[in-house]
Structure 1
Amino acid sequence: MNIEKLTQGGFSIGVELPLDNDWSTSGEANRKRDGRPFGVPDMQHHAELIKQADGLGFRAAWVRDVPLYDPNFGDAAQIFETFTYLGYLASHTQNILLGTAAVVLPLRNPWLVRKAAATVQTLSHERLLLGVASGDRPSEYPIFGVDYHSRGERFRQAVEILRAIQDSKLVSGMKVLPEAPLPPLLVAGLAQQSPTWVGKHMQGWLAYPGTPNDHINRVALWREVAGDKPYVSFIHLDLEANPDAPIKRHRFGVSTGVNGLIQELESMKAAGVDHIGLHFRRNQQPLNETLEQIGESVLPKFHT
C-alpha cells in the first residue's frame, strides 16, 4: 500500500510543492520583475523539477489546497487546483507518492472529493495520499457559503463519505467511479476534532513544522492515540553551498549545508518523525542543483 511505501525503511524524505524559490533573494527579484503578488510562485519549471525529484528517489510530493489567493495570507501554494494538478503530476512521474497537505473538506462537496481522489488513484496507479483538513482561512468560508464555525462537523461528515461509510445512501446500482482502492486519509492538525477521534479515524498525521524537540511531545501524543501510524512533517529549507554550513534556524525550518541537513533529519528521525517533506521557497541556490545535492548525498543515508 502507498501508506506503507511512505515509511518504508523507517524514515523517508519528500518535497513540498511549489518547486520554486520565490521567497529567496533572487526569487523575490524575479517576482517583482514579473509583476506577481507576494506568495505567487513561478511555475514555468515545475514539470522538469518534479521529474527530477521522482528520478532521484524522493518518496512523496505534497501539494496544498488554497482555493483563493488572499493577500492577507500571501501564499498561493502551487497556484493550480489540487486534484487537477495531481493528475498532471501523475502523468509526469513514475514512482513518487502524490500527497495533499491538505484538502479543505468543508469547502468541497465530499462526494466529488471522493470521485476526484478515485480518479487520481487510478491514473497514478494508486500513489495518492489524501491529506485532509478543516481549513484555517476564515475569509474563504462566506464566499463558499459555508459557516466557518461548523467546519468541524462538516469535516466529520465528509470523512464518513470518503471512507465509504455513507454508501448506504446510494440507491441500488449507484457507484462512485472509477472504482479504486480508497486512499489513506491523513489529517493536517486536528481539524477541530479530539486527538482520540483523529487517531482512530485517520491513517496518518500531517504535523505543522517545528524543531526536533517540538516534535517529541507531538509524536508522543500521536503514538498514544494512533499507535504506529505515520507521523509526517515539513522543513522550510535553505540548503547552502558549503556542505559544512552550520544549522541556522528560521521560521518553520533551517538554513544549513548538506551535513547539517543530515544532522537535522537524523534528529527528526530520533524524535519519532516518519517522513519529512522539504519546502524550498526560501532556498537561495537554484532548485535543480539543490535537488541533485540532496539526491546524491542525503537520500542514500535514509532510503534503504
Structure 2
Amino acid sequence: MISPTRPLDRLTQGPLTLGVELPLDNDWVRTDRAPSTPFGVPDMRAHAELIGQVDTLGFRAAWLRDVPLFDPAFGDAGQVFELFTYLGYLASHTDNLLLGTAAAVLPLRQPWLVRKAAASVQALSEDRLLLGVASGDRPAEYPLFGEEFTTRGAAFRHAVDVIKGQADDALSDGQAILPAATRPPLLSAGLSQQTPEWIGREMDGWLAYPGTPQDHIRRVTLWRQVAGDKPYVSFIHLNLEDDPHAPVRRHRFGLSSGRLALMEELSAMQDAGVNHIGFHLRRNRRPLTETLEELGREVLPHFS
C-alpha cells in the first residue's frame, strides 16, 4: 500500500485549519424540536444544503461520528446515517472538503470490511478521507455486536494491522482487498486503550478531546514527544454569539463568544501547536446558515 500523505498535507496547510463536526444541526438548544423526537437525534432534512455551504465557504474538513447504536442513556445519535454509507454520499455532494471520521469504532466492525470500505471512499473521493479510529467507550453496545468490551484494546490493534496491510499473510495466494493502491491516514481518537508511544508510532495523527489552550499545550507536548510533527486535531463545542465583541464564556467542551474572542482562542490554540480545529455546533443558538457564513467570511481567512 502507498503511504497516505495527501489528505494529511491538506489538513495541515495552515498553520491552523478549520472544519466542522456533523451533524449540522443545533438540536441541543432548539426549542422547535418535535416532541416525539428523542433528545440527541438531530434534524437531518437540510444536511445536503448545509454541507454544500460548508464546502463552498472553504472549511477544510467535515468530521462524522460513528454511533452504531442509539442509546438514550448517552443522548447522542451522531449524524444518524451509517458512517461509510454517508461518507460516500458526502463525497458525491462536495468538491473540496476532507471527510474525516471521529471516529470509527473498530472493535464493533469487521476489520477487513473496514479496510475495503475505507479504501473505496478514499478512491471515490479522490483521496479526501481521514480515517479516525477508536476502541469505543459505550459498554452497552458490545454484547449486541457479540464483542467483549474488556478486550477492545486488543481488537483495536488487530484491526489497525488489517487496515495497514500488516496482516496480509492471512490472505491466500492471489487474494487481495481492492482497491489496494492507497489507504487513508489513520488518526486515533484519544488513546484507544493503547500507550501514547504505540499511538504515536502506529497512527498518522491524533484526535484529541476538546479543551482549553492550556490543556492543549500539555497534550501537544506529549504528542510531539511520541509522534514528532504528525497532525494534532481537536474540536470546539461552539456557540457563536451575535455580538462580535462578546467575551468568552466557557462551557463543557467549548465556549460561547463573539467572533473576535473566538479568533483569540484559535490563535492561542495555533500557538499551542494545534493543527486543526473542528467546530461542533449543536449548542449554537443562531441559525446555522448564518453562523457558518460568519465563520467562513470573517474567521477562516485569518487561519485556513
Q: Same fold (TM over 0.5)?
A: yes
Report SS of the residue matched to 1:102: strand
- Counting only pairs closer than 5 Å after superposition, residues 194-213 of structure 1 correspond to structure 2 as 194-213=195-214
Which letter maps to 1:112? L
Q: Which residue of 2 aligns with 1:178?
A: 179
CA contact (8 A) 1:209 1:252 kept: yes
Q: Which residue of 2 aligns with 1:281?
A: 282
Q: CA deviation at 1:9?
A: 2.4
Which letter maps to 1:59? R
CA contact (8 A) 2:14 2:275 kept: no
Q: Which residue of 1 aligns with 2:229?
A: 228
Report SS of the residue matched to 1:51: helix
Distance in 1 between residues matched to 2:240 and 2:16, nearest whole Å? 20
Q: Which residue of 2 aligns with 1:266?
A: 267
Distance in 1 between residues matched to 2:170 and 2:15, nearest whole Å? 40
What do the CA deviations read for 1:142-185 (whole angstroms, capped 9, x no partner)? 11110110000000000000000111211111111223411100
Which letter maps to 1:229? K
Distance in 2 between residues matched to 1:50 and 1:20, nearest whole Å? 11
Which letter maps to 1:30? D
Q: Which residue of 1 aligns with 2:106?
A: 105
1:7 aligns with 2:12: yes
Q: Which residue of 2 aligns with 1:45?
A: 46
Distance in 2 between residues matched to 1:223 and 1:71, nearest whole Å? 38
Q: Which runs of 5+ in 2 are unaligned?
A: 1-5
TM, length-normalised to structure 1: 0.97
- Counting only pairs closer than 5 Å after superposition, residues 75-86 of structure 1 correspond to structure 2 as 75-86=76-87
Moved more, 176-185 or 77-86: 176-185
TM, length-normalised to structure 2: 0.97
Cα RMSD for the two superposed structures: 0.8
- Consecutive aligned runs of 4 or more in structure 1 exceeding 2 Å deviation: none
The verdict on how the C-alpha distance between 1:85 and 1:34 changes in structure 2, with shifts beyond 3 A counting, is: farther
Q: Which residue of 2 aligns with 1:248?
A: 249
Q: Which runs of 5+ in 1 are unaligned?
A: none
CA contact (8 A) 1:101 1:206 kept: yes
Report SS of the residue matched to 2:59: coil
Distance in 2 between residues matched to 1:232 and 1:280, nearest whole Å? 17
Distance in 2 between residues matched to 1:9 and 1:272, nearest whole Å? 11
Q: CA deviation at 1:34?
A: 5.0
Which letter maps to 1:95? N
Q: Which residue of 1 aligns with 2:194?
A: 193
Distance in 2 between residues matched to 1:49 and 1:232, nearest whole Å? 23
